[in-house]
């Protein structure tokens, strides 16, 4: 299980998506911004979060993907956590 206290999951907030504690900012939102090329400075300003929050999102994503097993079939790629 993920251990960083900055990232939490609440079933009744953001449909249970992992988010930064004390916010309604999801890990997914931060990763999407990073993928689009946003700087950490821009993300911090836009979402009013810290550098540590961004790092926690990246760490969460890394840990999640490292626990996922990907299987290739002839027509569909499937992932199982």
User: For residues 31 and 47, what is the distance between their CA atoms, to the nearest angstrom?
Assistant: 13
Q: Do the domain assignments include residue 64?
A: yes
By three-state DSSP, how is residue 24 classified? Answer: coil
pLDDT at 69: 83
Q: Under a CB-based contact definition with an 8 Å cutoff, are residues 18 and 8 in contact?
A: yes
Q: In the predicted model, is pLDDT for residue 80 greater than 70?
A: no
Q: Do the domain assignments include residue 47?
A: yes
Find the domain containing 54 and state its range: 7-80
Q: Do the domain assignments include residue 2?
A: no
Q: Do the domain assignments include residue 12?
A: yes
- CATH label of the domain that carries residue 39: 1.10.10.10
Q: In the predicted model, is pLDDT for residue 1 greater than 80?
A: no
Report, in this order, helix, strand and coil percent for the chain, each rounded to 5.
Answer: 45, 15, 40
User: For residues 54 and 42, what is the distance between their CA atoms, to the nearest angstrom?
Assistant: 11
pLDDT at 66: 87
Q: Do the domain assignments include residue 19?
A: yes
Query: What's the domain count of the chain?
Result: 1
Q: In the predicted model, is pLDDT for residue 47 greater than 90?
A: yes
> Which tens digits make up the pLDDT trace of 19-45?
999 999 999 999 999 999 999 999 999
């Amino acid at each position: 299980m993920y251990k960083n206290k900055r990232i939490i999951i609440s079933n009744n907030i953001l449909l249970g998506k992992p988010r930064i504690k004390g916010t309604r900012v999801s890990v997914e939102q931060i990763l999407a911004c990073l993928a689009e090329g946003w700087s950490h400075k821009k993300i911090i300003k836009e979402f009013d979060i810290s550098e540590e929050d961004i790092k926690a999102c990246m760490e969460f994503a890394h840990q999640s993907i490292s626990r996922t097993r990907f299987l290739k079939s002839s027509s569909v790629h499937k992932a199982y956590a």
